[in-house]
A and B are shown apart, each in its own frame.
Chain A
Amino acid sequence: MAKVMMKGNEAMALAAIKGGCKAFFGYPITPQSELPEYLAKHMHKHGGVFLQAESEIAAINMVYGASGAGARVMTSSSSPGIALKQEGITYMAGAQLPAVIINVMRGGPGLGGIQPSQADYKQVTRGGGNGDYYVIAFAPEDLQETVNIIKEAFDVADQYRNPVMIAVDGLIGQMMEPVDLDIEVPKRELAEKTWATIGTYGKRPPVNINSLFLDPQGLENHSWNLAKKYNTIKEKEQRYEMVNMKDAELVIVAYGTMSRIVRSALEELNKEGIKVGLLRPITIWPFPEKAFKEIPESVKGILTCELSTGQMIDDVKIANNGKLPVGFFGRTGGMVPEPEEIIKAVKDMLGGLK
C-alpha cells in the first residue's frame, strides 16, 4: 500500500487492526476520540470487538478480562483518563497480562487542557500505579513511526506478558501526515497463551489470572521474577536514534513532537556552524541509557528539551551520571515552541559552558 494522508488518531486505530488487535474498550476523551470512533466504524469488519465503556476504569478492567481470556486487546485515552486507568494497569502488570495502551498526552495537572503535552512522562515511565512494576513505553515522533510501533507493540506485549504504552502527544494524534500502514514490522516468536482463561474443556486443569499473593514470601518471589523480566526488557528493548553526533558540542535529548522541532533547530544551527546532536529516546521506559555511552568526547553539555516543566531530565541525569552539565528547555500547558526558542536555549547553554 502506498502512503495515504491520515489523521494521527485514525491511523493509530488502523495500525492496531493491522497489528492483530481483536478487542478495544475505551472511553471518549479529547484529543484521542477519533481513535475509538474509527474502531467503532471498522473493528467489526475485521472480526474484532469494539465497546465503549462507562468509564476509563471500566474500560481498562474490560481490557484485563479480555487479555486474561487470551485476546489481543487495546485501549486508548489521554492523560487524565490514563490516570484513571492506572488501577487496571497495575493489576495487569501484576497478573502479567499483555495489552496495548495508547496515551495521546494533553496538558495537566488535573483537568489541565486539551493541547499537546509531554507532562505524563513520569506517569508513563514510573509504573503509574501501586507496586514494583513498569509498562514498556514507546514515544514515537511522527505518524509513520507511531503506526509501525503500534503494529509491533502487540507482539512486544505478548512476548513479555506486560502492558505496552504508546505515549504520543496530542499533535501526533490530531495532525494529518502521509503514512504507509503496510510497512513490515519485525515479528517476534511468541509462546502459546496456555495461561489464558478460555475454559478447561476437560483438556487441562483450571487456570487463574491473579495478582494476589497473600503469603509475603510468595509476593517477594513474584516481585523478583517481575524485576528479572524488567531487567531483560531494559537490556533488550532500549530504542533510540542518534542524529548529527559527529563533532557535536552539545547534545539535545528530546522525544516525540519536541524532537521534530529540535530537528528544525539543528538545521538552522548547522548553517551557523554550531554543531549540535540529537539523542532521541524512542522507548522512554526502558530509558535508552545505552545511548549516553555513544555521546562523543567533543560534547560539552546536554540540553533536555520537553513539552513539560522538566520530567525526563531526571532520567537524563541518571544516565549521564554526573559526567556532563545538564540543562533544560521546556514549554508546557499545550504551548509548543518555535525552533528559534530552542536555538536560543542552545546558544545560552553553550555560552554558559564556554
Chain B
Amino acid sequence: MSKVVFEKTKGLTNKEFSYCPGCTHGIIHRLVAEVLEELDILDRTIGISPVGCSVTNYEFFNCDMQQAAHGRAPAVATGIKRVRPDNIVFSYQGDGDLASIGTAEIVHAAHRSENITVIFINNGIYGMTGGQMAPTTLVGQKTTTSPYGRDEKHCGKPIKISELLSAVPGATFIERVSVHNPAHVRKAKKAIKKAFEVQIAGKGFSLVEFISTCPVNWGMKPQDALNWAEENMIAYYPLGNFRTPEEDDK
C-alpha cells in the first residue's frame, strides 16, 4: 500500500511553470501557495501579478488574481483591500517592479500601513527583459546594461529595500529570507506565514524579501547560482527580521 508523503498544494493550479531551469520563483510560488492553503485563506485571497518574469503568475496561483501595471501592484492591492477589507490581499513583485519603477507605490503602501502582504523577489537583475542591471545588482556584477560590472560611481550602490522600508513607521513586518538551501526554504516559509498572519490579525503592512537567483542571466548553472547567491547576495543583503509587530517584541 503506497502512502502519499508529498502532495501538490491546492494553492497552485495544474498549469506548468514558465520559469527557467534553476529559477527560484517556483519554490517561492509553492511556499506562498502552501501558506495560503495551510492558513485556510485561499478562497478569500486576491493576489496581484507584477510585470516581470512572474507576470503570468495569475495562471499559477489558484485564487482570484489581478495583473497590475509595472510597479503599481501595491496601489492595486490598496484599491482592492480598501473596498474588500475582509479579503486577504497579496502582491508578488520582482526587484525591477518593486525596487525601481514602483518605489513610490511600495513606500507609500508601507507608509499607510496598508493591511496587505508583499512577496518581494530580489535576484539583482531584470530577468524577463534579458538581464539588464537592476537597482539591486551588486557592485561589480556584470549585466547587459552594466557590461563592465556595476560601477557605484556611475549608478550607485544597490538599494536595500528591507532596510529602507524598515525606516517607514507604518511597516509592521519586514523580513529578508533566502531559498538557496532546504533549511532556508523552511525558514522562508515561516516568514511568509508570519506575514500573512499579520494581515489576518489586521496589524498592517507586511513584506518578505527573498534572495533569489537568475541562473540564465547570471550566466551560471543552477547550483552555482545558488552558491553565488549565498556567498555574494547574502553578504550584502543580510537575512533576518527587520520589523515585527510591537506586541511580539515584548
Contacts and interface: CB of A to CB of B under 8 A. Distances in A.
Interface of A: 22-23, 25, 49, 51, 53-55, 57-59, 61-71, 73, 87-88, 91, 95, 197-202, 206-212, 214
Instruction: Identify the interface centre among A66, A70, A95: most chain B CB within 10 Å of its CB.
Output: A66
Given A206-B62, A210-B67, A212-B67, A201 B43 contact: yes
Listed residue (B48, B66, B78) with the most chain A CB atoms within 10 angstroms of its CB? B66
Given A69-B46, A210-B58, A61 B67 contact: no
A259 to B, nearest CB: 35
A25 B45 CA distance: 22
B239 interface: no
Contact of A197 (B69, B75, B80, B105): B80
B79 A95 contact: no
Given A53-B78, A65-B68, A208-B65, 15 more contacts: A23-B79, A25-B79, A54-B104, A54-B108, A55-B104, A62-B79, A65-B76, A65-B81, A69-B66, A71-B83, A88-B69, A95-B67, A198-B46, A200-B63, A209-B67
B83 A199 contact: no
B190 interface: no
Contacts of A62: 75-76, 78-79, 82
Contacts of B61: 206
B72 interface: yes
Nearest to B108: A54
A64 B64 CA distance: 15
Nearest to A88: B69
Contact of B80 (A57, A69, A208): A69
B69 A66 contact: no
B67 A66 contact: no
Contacts of A209: 65-67
B157 interface: no
Given A55-B104, A58-B104, A197-B46, A65 B77 contact: yes
B64 A61 contact: no
A198 B80 CA distance: 9
9 contacts: A63-B79, A64-B69, A65-B48, A65-B80, A70-B84, A197-B66, A198-B84, A206-B65, A207-B65
A200 B42 CA distance: 8
B104 A51 contact: no
A197 B43 CA distance: 11
Given A55-B104, A197-B46, A214-B56, A208 B66 contact: yes
Interface of B: 13, 42-46, 48-49, 55-56, 58, 61-69, 72, 75-84, 87, 104-105, 107-108, 111
Given A65-B76, A65-B79, A197 B64 contact: yes
Contacts of A200: 42-44, 63-64
Contact of A61 (B49, B55, B82, B105): B105
A157 to B, nearest CB: 15
B93 to A, nearest CB: 13
Interface centre among B42, B79, B105, B111 (most CB of A within 10 A): B79
Given A58-B75, A58-B108, A199-B43, A65 B66 contact: yes
Given A61-B72, A199-B43, A202-B43, A208 B67 contact: yes
Nearest to B105: A58
Contact of B68 (A25, A51, A54, A61): A61
Contacts of A23: 79, 82-83
Nearest to A200: B43
A95 B72 CA distance: 15
Contacts of B66: 64-65, 68-69, 95, 197, 208-210
Listed residue (A65, A88, A199, A206) with the most chain B CB atoms within 10 angstroms of its CB? A65
A22 B69 contact: no
B104 A49 contact: no
A22 B43 CA distance: 24
Q: Which of B49, B68, B77 has the most CB of A within 10 A?
A: B68
B46 A64 contact: no
B70 to A, nearest CB: 9
A81 B42 CA distance: 37
A62 B78 CA distance: 6
A51 B65 contact: no
B201 to A, nearest CB: 18
Contacts of B79: 23, 25, 61-69, 73
A206 B78 contact: no
Given A54-B105, A61-B75, A201 B80 contact: no
B43 A57 contact: no
A65 B75 CA distance: 8
Contacts of A64: 66, 68-69, 72, 75-76, 79
Contacts of A59: 75
B83 A66 contact: yes
Contact of A199 (B46, B67, B77, B78): B46
